[in-house]
Amino acid sequence: MSDTRLTSDRWPIAAAMLPFPASQDAPADTWVDHLAQVAYEGFTEVDLTDSWIQPGDLSPARIEELREALATVGLDPIALSAIRRSVIDPETGDENLAYSHRTIDAAAALGTKIVSVGLHRPLLPAQREVLWFWTEEGPADSTDPETWALAVSRLRELGEHAASVGVELSLEMYEDTLLGTAESAVRLVKDIDHPSVGLNPDLGNLIRLHRPIEDFQAAVAACLPVSNYWHVKSYFRDEDRSTGSYVALPAPMEMGMVSYRTAIRTAVDAGFTGPFCVEHYGGDGLSVSARNARYIRRMLAVATGEAREQVLRNVAAAR
């Protein structure tokens, strides 16, 4: 095996900062406390999810404080996810485009390799009032040619900016957006047609919906060849289409309704080499994320053939 091969133990797996409270104006020591908890769970990479901190809105001095906090706990800020800042939002698209540009510059200053953006918008009041926001309908993108062209133009603009500062752009899948199905998401990436722009096939956003969903493994096979980053999570799911009853609850990846054992093998076979980011809603999200990271490393060992080689070596050595 080549020393340069991306093996299961070297593969970057980041923790999302979703479990932590908004901390934009918190002192740097609070940042260190939060990040130290991530490192204590065994992570060496982190996704600076902007529900926690918005690096694009930090002053240069505070960017440096964040750099120092990350170095203090030994975490690599491999990705920065800017969420609910759609550049085609009918009301705030221009503002979100400017924010995305600032975020890319902040990512470069922090040494971040990937900025993930999406086309999903802020939660509606009904979504904020229920236990699980995905059980209520959210905003939906128009599918007219003008909206599609605007998305292609603005996301390509962000991709060009990202490339100029040594960062990749990844587009997060989310329901009822132009990135809401495998077919539409892949087509959007291909229409943008920029080497620094890839897909973030966050299919967990889709399998939790209380409605019929597309086949998960088919979507993985379609999306992973054009993907450069991957938010992963899973859900328990039950459905009774005869009554229109659908239920989805967060679950550890190894226990949920889809097989990531199969999906990760598909990804590796398709040539995917991007980082993973583990997410989980509810309860102790960080502990479940750490469990998911360990599971991913096992599945990567299976997908890369390392598990098979180890078993055969162990048996041969015992003879």
**Statement: residue 85 has pLDDT above 90:** yes
**Statement: residue 5 has pLDDT above 70:** no
Nearest to 100 by CA among 146, 159, 22: 159
Dihedral angle, C-alpha 57, 59, 62, 64, nearest 10 °? 110
**Pair 222, 237: CB distance under 8 Å:** no
Are β-strands 276-278 and 230-232 bridged in parallel, bridged antiparallel, or unpaired? parallel
pLDDT at 179: 98
Can you tell me the mean pLDDT for 157-183? 98
Q: Where are the alpha helices (DSSP H) in the chain?
A: 28-40, 60-73, 93-110, 125-128, 145-164, 182-192, 204-207, 216-223, 260-269, 285-304, 306-318
Question: What's the predicted TM-score (pTM) here?
Answer: 0.95
What is 13-318's CATH superfamily?
A: Divalent-metal-dependent TIM barrel enzymes (3.20.20.150)
> What average pLDDT does the chain have?
96
**Statement: residue 34 has pLDDT above 50:** yes
pLDDT at 206: 97
Can you tell me the mean pLDDT for 42-50? 98
What are the residue boundaries of the structural domains of the chain, listed by start? 13-318
* Residue 119, helix vs strand vs coil: coil
Structure tokens at 32: 């260190």
